[in-house]
Amino acid sequence: MTGQSLASNHAPGLADRAWNLIRALPVIGRVIRDIEREIDTVYYLFVILLTALVLAVQAWGLPALVVTAVALVPVIFVLLIWVTLP
């Protein structure tokens, strides 16, 4: 048996199905496909998100900044755990 025949019998797992579902979403899927094609797209995405944050703070003030900070707490926790892994 070759590796090719084994790979063709692989049933998609939960992670594969979840990834395909995320890639099927209209806006998020397009961004993911663009990033897969050209990694420099990540910088444009950061600029867009920062601009949206600035506009939200201009429109709604400090609550927009606080909600953004609270939403990023789990992301920072995951990054801290990832950095401290042996």
Walk along the chain (86 residues) and give the pLDDT tens digit of each residue.
555 555 556 667 887 888 888 888 888 888 888 888 999 999 999 999 999 999 999 999 999 999 999 999 999 999 999 999 98
What's the pLDDT at 71? 95
HEC states along the chain?
Answer: CCHHHHHHCCCCCHHHHHHHHHHHCHHHHHHHHHHHHCCCHHHHHHHHHHHHHHHHHHHHCHHHHHHHHHHHHHHHHHHHHHHHCC
What's the pLDDT at 6? 53
Q: Would you say the pTM of this structure is higher than 0.75?
A: no
